[in-house]
């Protein structure tokens, strides 16, 4: 893989067992961390909130827990990166494909993408994580940032081996 | 059967993230099935304009299409839920 998800994760923007009360709070918090780390412009958080309201990104997964991958247009981004939050309690996002449906979410990937149709490896890896119920469960059980990174790095190593 | 490759239009909200993953996954599934198709990406809002010569629209967000073009709304290529069934559905539409 040319771009590993572990490498795209912004270390300053990983939040473990974050006690968010709603989806808005997660997006604001992760967005601010990306902003402080220099990945996005000061317009990013508002743009991501507006996009989530108009075109939600909640994804019901195969396992017990669900995910969301908020993102927004490229003009709000300085350089590409991924922020990740695991939540203490689920918050309500809306289903991407049927927005009237509520999805309780405990895993959030906030994506900062700077080119249209790019970062495909990174996006495929996010999808790869979402499709692996065991991996989602272990991420949600992680107690700190180091554990989150170790789980993703280990997963990538195994994925690469299985491809060769 | 026409020799012209079938056109699959893949749509999502911004055409940055989601449809890129979906387009790539469909491309690989069709390659495995030996089906030649042209896969295009667009924003959900652009579907009415872009779908005129499409044989199938696959979307992760609600879309409005003007004509009688089959539309498959699915998150399967992101979440893996029901992926085999959706691939079969896509292949059936393109072979029809």
pLDDT, tens digit (0-9, with 9 covering 90-100), for A91-105: 999 999 999 999 999
Return the higher-pLDDT residue of B64 and B10: B10
Q: Are B71 and B87 in contact (CB under 8 A)?
A: no
**Tokens linked to B38:** 């042209």
Q: Does A73 touch chain B (CB under 8 A)?
A: yes
Tell me the per-residue pLDDT of B21-31, one tens digit each, with 9 for 90 and over: 999 999 999 99
- Let me know if B42 is a catalytic residue: no
The DSSP output letter for B62 is: -
CATH of the domain at A35: 3.40.930.10
Q: What average pLDDT score do residues B60-88 get?
A: 92
pLDDT of residue B24: 93
Distance of alpha carbon A32 from alpha carbon A18, whole angstroms: 14
Q: Are A124 and B24 an interchain contact pair (Cβ–Cβ within 8 Å)?
A: yes
Read off the pLDDT band of A1 (50, 70, 90): very low
Q: Which residues pair with B33 in a beta bridge?
A: none
Give the number of domains in chain A.
Answer: 1
Tell me the per-residue pLDDT of A9-32, one tens digit each, with 9 for 90 and over: 999 999 999 999 999 999 999 999
Q: What average pLDDT score do residues B74-85 get?
A: 95
pLDDT of residue A118: 61
**Superfamily grouping for domain B6-95:** Response regulator (3.40.50.2300)
Q: Does B65 touch chain A (CB under 8 A)?
A: no
Give the predicted TM-score (pTM) of the model. Answer: 0.91
CB pairs under 8 A between A and B: 82
Residues of chain A above pLDDT 90, percent: 77
pLDDT of residue A161: 64
Q: B2 pLDDT exceeds 60?
A: no
Query: Out of B14, B17, B74, whose CB is closest to A97?
Result: B74
Distance of alpha carbon B62 from alpha carbon B59, whole angstroms: 7
Q: Are B62 and A131 an interchain contact pair (Cβ–Cβ within 8 Å)?
A: no
Please list every residue in chain A whose beta carbon sits closer than 8 Å to the beta carbon of residue B41: 117
Distance of alpha carbon A161 from alpha carbon A163, whole angstroms: 5
Burial per residue of B13-48, b for 16 or more beta-carbon CB atoms within 10 angstroms, e otherwise: bbbbbbbbbbbbbbeebbeeeebebebbbbbbbebe
DSSP A2-23: -S-HHHHEEEEEEEEEE--SSH
pLDDT of residue A160: 67
Q: A2 pLDDT exceeds 50?
A: no
Q: What average pLDDT score do residues B26-55 get?
A: 92
Q: Are A49 and A120 in contact (CB under 8 A)?
A: no
CA distances from A94 to A16, A67, A98, B64 (A): 22, 10, 8, 19
Residues of chain A above pLDDT 70, percent: 92
Distance of alpha carbon A122 from alpha carbon B18, whole angstroms: 12
Please list every residue in chain A whose beta carbon sits closer than 8 Å to the beta carbon of residue B44: 55
Tell me the per-residue pLDDT of A110-153, one tens digit each, with 9 for 90 and over: 999 888 666 777 788 899 999 999 999 999 999 999 999 999 88
Per the structure, the complete domain to which residue A70 belongs is given by 5-163
């Amino acid at each position: 893989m040319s771009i590993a998800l572990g490498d795209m994760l912004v270390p300053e923007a990983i939040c473990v067992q974050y006690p968010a009360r709603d989806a808005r709070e997660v997006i604001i918090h992760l967005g601010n961390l990306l902003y402080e780390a220099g990945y996005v412009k000061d317009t990013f958080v508002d743009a991501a909130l507006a996009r989530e309201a108009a075109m939600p990104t909640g994804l019901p997964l195969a396992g017990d827990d669900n995910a969301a991958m908020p993102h927004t247009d490229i003009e709000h981004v300085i350089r590409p990166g991924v922020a990740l939050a695991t939540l203490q309690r689920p918050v309500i996002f809306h289903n991407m494909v049927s927005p009237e449906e509520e999805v309780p979410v405990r895993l959030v990937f906030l994506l900062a993408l700077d080119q249209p149709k790019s970062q495909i490896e990174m996006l495929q890896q996010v999808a790869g994580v979402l499709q692996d119920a065991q991996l989602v469960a272990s991420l949600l059980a992680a107690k700190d940032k180091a554990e989150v990174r170790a789980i993703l790095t280990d997963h990538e190593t195994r994925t690469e081996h299985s491809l060769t | 059967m026409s020799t012209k490759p079938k056109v699959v239009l893949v749509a999502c909200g911004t055409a940055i993230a989601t449809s890129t993953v979906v387009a790539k996954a469909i491309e690989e599934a069709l390659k495995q099935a030996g089906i030649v198709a042209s896969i295009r990406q667009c924003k959900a809002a652009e579907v009415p304009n872009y779908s005129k010569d499409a044989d199938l629209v696959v979307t992760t967000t609600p879309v409005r299409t003007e004509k009688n073009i089959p539309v498959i709304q699915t998150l399967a290529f992101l979440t893996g839920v029901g992926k085999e069934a959706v691939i079969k559905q896509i292949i059936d539409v393109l072979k029809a």
